[in-house]
C-alpha cells in the first residue's frame, strides 16, 4: 500500500476556511465524513482508483493536513483538486464578503460564519438521495439514514484494517432487496418510494448528470424538479451542492422566516417569491447568502425570536 501526507496552507486559497464548521454544518450534500482521531476520512475516486483521504485542521485558517492511502500510484495534485472542489477553495469567496459589506442589512452576518464554506458532493447522485431524504426530516435522522445505507449497500474498502464505504451507485440502489422492509428499514419512511422512482428516472437517461451539468441554472431547475420527491427546496440543494450552481437559494421554513424578517417586514411572502427575490438581489452569491443566513439566524438567537412570532 502507498501512503503519504501533504499540507494545504492558508495562502493557497482566498478567504477563510474552517474544516470543522463546514463539515458539520448540515449541508445536504452528504453526511459528515468519518471522524477518527480528529481527522475526517472519505474515499475519493481519483482516475478510476479509490484513495482513502484523511483531512484535519486545528482551527480557522490553520494548515490543512491531508493524509492519503491507496493501492496504485496516485498524483497528489488530483487529490488536491477534489478537496478544493468539495470545500469550494478554488472560489474567490471575497466577492461574497464584499457583497455582505456593501449591504448594510447583511453587515453582521459573516461574524457568525467565519470559515464556513460550501460542502459539495463528490458524487451528484449521493447528493440527490441525501437531499430527498432531508425533506421534512431532521438533520440527525437523515444523516444517519444515509450513513446506514452507505455502510450496508456501498462498496467496502479496507485501509489500515479499517472499513470505509462509498455510497452505492444507481444500479446498486434500485436493486436493494424489498425484504425486511427494504429501504424503509433505514428510517427514510415514505421517502423510500421517491428515492427509488427518482433513481429509475436517472437510470433511464444514462447521461443524466452531464445533462444537468451543462444546463443553465433555470433549465437545470426545471429538469431536476421532474424527479419524485424533488420540489423547489430540494432542487436548489441538489443544484447547489451536487452540481455547483451558485444561483440556487434553497428556501426552507427558516430561510423564509429570516429573509422575510430582513426584506419583507410585515409581509408573508411565499417561498417562490423569496426565491425570485434572492436571484434578483443576490445573483451568484445566493448559495452562500443562504448558507450564511441559515447559520446566522441559528447562532444569533434570531430563530427563536422568529419562531415565537411564527409568521
Q: In the complex with DNA, which residue's Cβ is closer, 51 or 258? A: 258
> What span, in angstroms and rounded, lies between the C-alpha atoms of 119 and 266?
34
3-state secondary structure 70-89: ECCCCCHHHHHHHHHHHCCC
Partners of residue 4 on adjacent β-strands: 68
| Residue from the set 157, 228, 263, 269 that interacts with DNA by CB under 7 A | 228
Is the distance from CB of 95 to CB of 290 less than 8 angstroms?
A: no
Fill in the per-residue mask, 235 to 254: x = in contact with DNA (CB under 7 A), - = not in contact: x-x------------x-xxx
Q: Using the minimum distance from each CB to DNA, give the nearer residue, 60 or 201.
A: 201
Site residues for DNA, 7-36, by CB under 7 A, read 25-28
Among 53, 129, 230, 297, indicate the residue that binds DNA (CB under 7 A): 230
Q: Does 291 bind DNA (CB under 7 A)?
A: yes
* Pair 216, 279: CB distance under 8 Å: no
Taking a C-beta distance cutoff of 8 angstroms, is the pair 85, 15 a contact? no
- Largest pairwise CA distance in the chain: 63
How far is it, in rounded angstroms, from Cα 224 to Cα 219?
9
Whether 114 is catalytic = no
The one catalytic residue in 114, 233, 268, 273 is 233
User: Which CB, 166 or 255, lies closer to DNA?
Assistant: 255
Answer yes or no whether residue 56 interacts with DNA by CB under 7 A.
no
Q: Please select the residue that binds DNA; options are 229, 246, 278, 288, rule is CB under 7 A.
A: 229
Which residues are bridge partners to 166 per DSSP?
Answer: 155
- Please, which residues bridge with residue 2 across strands? 70
> Under the criterion CB under 7 A, does residue 139 sit at the interface with DNA?
yes
Query: 3-class DSSP state for residue 164?
Result: strand
Binding site for DNA (CB under 7 A): 25-28, 134-141, 144, 181, 184, 187-191, 194, 225, 227-235, 237, 250, 252-255, 270, 290-291, 294, 307
Amino acid at each position: 500500500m502507498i501512503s503519504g501526507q501533504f499540507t494545504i496552507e492558508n495562502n493557497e486559497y482566498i478567504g477563510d476556511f474552517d474544516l470543522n464548521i463546514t463539515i458539520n454544518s448540515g449541508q445536504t450534500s452528504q453526511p459528515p465524513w468519518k471522524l477518527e482521531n480528529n481527522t475526517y476520512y472519505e474515499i475519493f475516486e481519483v482516475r478510476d482508483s479509490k484513495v482513502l483521504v484523511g483531512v484535519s485542521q486545528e482551527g480557522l485558517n490553520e494548515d490543512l493536513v491531508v493524509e492519503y492511502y491507496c493501492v496504485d500510484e496516485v498524483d497528489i495534485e488530483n487529490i488536491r483538486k477534489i478537496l478544493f472542489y468539495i470545500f469550494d477553495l478554488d472560489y474567490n469567496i471575497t466577492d461574497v464578503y464584499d457583497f455582505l459589506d456593501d449591504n448594510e442589512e447583511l453587515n453582521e452576518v459573516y461574524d457568525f460564519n467565519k470559515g464556513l464554506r460550501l460542502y459539495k458532493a463528490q458524487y451528484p447522485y449521493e447528493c440527490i438521495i441525501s437531499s430527498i431524504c432531508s425533506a421534512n426530516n431532521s438533520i440527525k435522522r437523515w444523516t444517519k439514514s444515509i450513513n446506514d445505507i452507505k455502510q450496508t449497500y456501498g462498496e467496502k474498502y479496507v485501509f489500515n484494517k479499517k472499513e470505509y464505504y462509498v455510497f452505492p451507485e444507481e444500479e446498486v440502489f434500485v436493486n436493494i432487496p424489498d425484504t425486511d422492509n427494504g429501504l424503509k428499514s433505514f428510517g427514510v419512511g415514505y421517502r423510500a418510494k421517491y428515492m427509488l422512482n427518482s433513481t429509475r428516472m436517472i437510470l433511464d437517461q444514462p447521461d443524466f448528470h452531464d445533462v444537468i451539468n451543462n444546463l443553465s441554472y433555470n433549465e437545470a431547475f426545471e429538469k431536476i424538479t421532474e424527479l419524485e420527491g424533488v420540489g423547489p427546496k430540494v432542487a436548489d440543494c441538489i443544484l447547489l451542492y451536487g452540481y455547483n450552481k451558485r444561483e440556487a437559494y434553497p428556501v426552507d421554513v427558516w430561510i423564509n422566516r429570516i429573509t422575510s424578517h430582513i426584506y419583507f417586514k410585515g409581509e408573508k411572502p411565499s417561498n417562490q417569491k423569496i426565491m425570485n427575490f434572492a436571484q434578483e438581489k443576490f445573483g451568484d452569491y445566493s448559495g452562500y447568502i443562504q448558507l450564511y443566513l441559515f447559520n446566522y439566524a441559528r447562532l444569533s438567537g434570531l430563530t427563536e425570536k422568529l419562531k415565537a412570532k411564527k409568521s
